[in-house]
Amino acid sequence: MVFNTGAALLDAIVLALAARDDEGTYGYKITQDVRQAIELSESTLYPVLRRLQRDDCLLAYDKEFAGRNRRYYRITDIGRAKLHWYELEWKSYAEKITGLFEGGKGDE
């Protein structure tokens, strides 16, 4: 993708993915899901996960899978509130950009 993906957009995407399941999801799955929309390396994702944990938006826990521990990330109430704010901001942003592409003023 030719457009840069900033930290806020990555945070929003990760929170949206973690919110899909009440038990949360694990890092590798998040990476694979994000890659369906944008190019992303695992080395980019893990600092995002740590930041969201530090900001109390995600809770991390380990769960045994196939004889190994897998780290899961579950969205918190703070994370849900932040995700809701990101969703509102994204809708406004997308409408403005779409308006510009379609010939509108983009600031209505």
pLDDT in tens, 21-54: 998 999 899 999 999 988 888 788 999 999 999 9
Q: Is the pLDDT of residue 3 over 90?
A: no
Measured distance CA(17)–CA(67) in Å, rounded? 25
Q: Global pTM? A: 0.86
State how many domains the chain has.
1
Instruction: Name the residue among 35, 1, 16 with its Cα closest to residue 90.
Output: 16
99 φ, ψ (degrees, to nearest 5): -60, -40
**What CATH number corresponds to the domain at position 48?**
1.10.10.10
Whether 1 maps to a domain, the answer reads no
2 in any annotated domain:
no
The answer to whether position 61 is within a domain reads yes
Which range marks the domain in which residue 23 is found? Answer: 7-101
The radius of gyration of the chain's CA atoms, rounded to the nearest angstrom, is: 16
